[in-house]
Structure 1
Amino acid sequence: MTVVELRPGPGDRDVVASASRTIKAEAAALDALEKALEGPLGRNVARAVERMAACEGRVIVTGMGKSGHISAKISATLASTGTPAQFVHPAEASHGDLGMITAKDVVLALSWSGESKELASILAYAKRFGVTVIAITSRAKSALAKAADIPLVLPASREACPLGLAPTSSSTQQLVMGDALAVALLEKRGFTSDDFHVFHPGGRLGARLQFVRDLMHQGDEIPLVAHGTLMSDAILAMTNKGFGILGVIDEAGALCGVITDGDLRRHLHDGLLAHKVESVMSDAPKTIEPGVVASAALDVMNGAKISALFVVDRNRPVGILHMHDLLRAGVV
């Protein structure tokens, strides 16, 4: 089989240069956005987060066109990080979807120009029923900014599109501002990995957010022997459990050491069977607690180059977790 090396041609270089210009333009827009937080935008972001955190209903996110696509993503991010949210299409609002908005909600409306006529029915409805409106726009004197209780005015930026027409840098700014609001709310609420798992039970992310207690082996499956046990008996117990590791517990039931296949090999020529477990075991075993997420257990195993962990509660072994358990669960 002949291997053909593909080398970039002149056309490829043009494409790469174009991609680089786009990335630089959008990065510059984000730099401008970060700097703008030092002024009135930052103060209004703080107000917006306070208002959304105090909301007793949902954050209704809305926008038209590209701003609508960004709005839908922001709504999904808010919902998955602990802030109840829903996207309402502004064109559908005047055809019955206004009923999705209640007086306890907060409206987050996006329009780069601030002049999207489709938002009019939502803005009028919000004013009529006293619903707080937070606006993300680029024009402080726009209809949207004037109608908003809290306007988040983003800095003007050059679109990456060479025609200056297709929303690129502007939509990136909107998206990042939405992410910034969601993360600030997440931190303000004290949202934890436990909470995150509730909203992300599926896929690999859900697998990594499972807890050690959900995957560990318990009860009679745990390979344990008492301090003072002869190695002849310990090896039988270790072999019967099939984890390649054995835990040693003291009189109080606490884990005081472990014996691995490696320990057995190191003592193979020392009259191993006549020894007691304490002369063979490693007395500083790696352990993990049952309430830790599975991905953290994987990190411990990879870092220590081991394939099994004893699960302890107040240093008492309550389970054992093997790398194969993480593989079966889809964590790896």
Structure 2
Amino acid sequence: MGLIRDQDIRALAVAVINTEMQAVAQLADRIDDQFVMACHLLLDCKGRVVVIGMGKSGHIAGKIAATLASTGTPAFFVHPAEASHGDLGMITRQDVVLALSNSGNTEEILTILPIIKRLGVPLIAMTGNSKSTLAKLSTAHIDVKVEQEACPLGLAPTSSTTAALVMGDALAISLLQKRGFTRDDFALSHPGGSLGRRLLLQVSDIMHQGAEVPRVFDSVPVSEALLEMTEKKLGMTAVVDHNGYVIGVFTDGDLRRMLEKSLDVHLTPVADVMTRPCTVIQADILAAEAMQIMETKKINALLVVDENKNLQGALNMHDLLRAGIV
């Protein structure tokens, strides 16, 4: 074998990506009545979606099953070879079978087809061969044919598995939308790790409350606001009236701008140099939304108010970091 140059490696990699991009782009024309029928079969399923596939298609089938399950469509993967040795008992008459096979003639899948048909279970086939046995015997057939594999030998499943994976995502997200599956529903199935924290945590769970919230009246001098900021350590203080209504906020940035004007911190009322109106949020929004607001507004802290704009709490970027939102 001759010496492979770095530019050859890059060229090969780009060729693979371009080939698979073309395969994926062609899938848009396959979203037809058969795809819609498959969606209806899955939506009407009273049991679970049983996803099967051999070899590389089996790996893709497992991922599709996981995506369906996490987006509101109960699903699990069954290995077709194991199915013929007892695992067929996992399939009930209430289920729907989604079978993946690029050739549409995978022996292990065809072996169990008579049992699936005997149960009267709807069969959705996802193949690259619309004339195959699996396609012909299916209730709905989704065509994922590709012009060529990205493998230069034309042997390793590459473009074909990518196409099947993308079509599986198209199914899952179509079902998610049709079911009205919400962000809260998604959170309930992903309670662990940073994803769960981002989806489940509300501002009320992490905000400072009560005596921890920095606040001063609008009539006090800046020096008093500075003492409050120093004690509460949030880099700002709320400025409120005597009923707790938020008038504005005094921040480190306001202090810097004030000092540039050579104003006296002991004589200048905080109301003269505070930021007003200020950005506020309510306690029942997601902490992840608070993070987005901070990033958009380029600020490091937020005041939390009720529906009447009375002060309820406060949080800053460090609180979000500690909660694992960032």
Shared fold (TM-score greater than 0.5)?
yes
What's the secondary structure of 2:250's corresponding residue? strand
Residues 313 and 81 of structure 1, relative CA distance in 2, 3 Å threshold: farther
Q: Could you say which residue in structure 1 is the equivalent of 2:246?
A: 255
Matches of 1:115 and 1:273 in 2, distance apart? Answer: 85
Q: Give distance in 2, aligned partners of 1:310 and 1:83.
A: 39
Aligned counterparts of 1:257 and 1:199: Cα–Cα separation in 2: 40
Partner-residue secondary structure (3-state), 2:93? coil
Distance in 2, matches of 1:139 and 1:18, equals 27
Q: Distance in 2 between matches of 1:188 and 1:312?
A: 35
CA positional deviation for 1:57: 1.9
Percentage identity across paired residues of the two chains: 52
Number of the residue aligned with 2:216: 225
SS at match of 1:272: coil
Structure 2 counterpart SS, 1:95: coil
Establish whether residue 283 from structure 1 lines up as the match of residue 276 from structure 2.
Answer: yes
Contact 2:229/2:235 (8 A) holds in 1:
yes
What secondary structure is seen at the aligned counterpart in 1 of 2:304?
Answer: strand
Structure 2: give runs of 5+ residues left out of the alignment: none
Structure 1: 5+ residue stretches without partners: 1-8
Which of the numbers 24, 27, 39 marks the counterpart of 1:33?
27
Partner SS state of residue 136, structure 1: strand
| Superposition misfits of 4+ residues, deviation over 6 angstroms | none
The worse-fitting range, judged by mean Cα deviation, of 268-277 and 172-181 is 268-277
Cα-Cα RMSD: 2.2
**Is 2:34–2:140's contact at 8 Å kept on the other side of the alignment?**
yes
Q: Which moved more, 1:247-256 or 1:280-289?
A: 247-256
Residue 315 of structure 2 is aligned to residue 321 of structure 1: yes
Task: Indicate conservation of the 8 Å contact 1:245/1:308, yes or no.
Answer: yes
Aligned to 2:165: 175
| 2:97 corresponds to | 107
Structure 1 length-normalised TM:
0.88
CA–CA distance in 2 between the matches of 1:298 and 1:182? 28
Deviates more, 1:302-311 or 1:108-117: 302-311
Farther-moved stretch of structure 1 (42-51 vs 270-279): 270-279
- The answer for the alignment partner of 2:8 in structure 1 is 14
Taking the aligned partners of 2:34 and 2:245, their CA distance within structure 1 comes to 54
Structure 1 residues 1-332: aligned runs within 5 Å: 11-37=5-31, 42-209=32-199, 210-250=201-241, 253-268=244-259, 269-314=262-307, 315-332=309-326
Residues of 2 paired with 1:69 and 1:114: CA distance? 16
Q: Which moved more, 1:210-219 or 1:125-134?
A: 210-219
**Structure 1 227/54 Cα, relative in aligned 2: closer, same or farther at 3 Å?**
farther
Q: Which moved more, 1:140-149 or 1:268-277?
A: 268-277
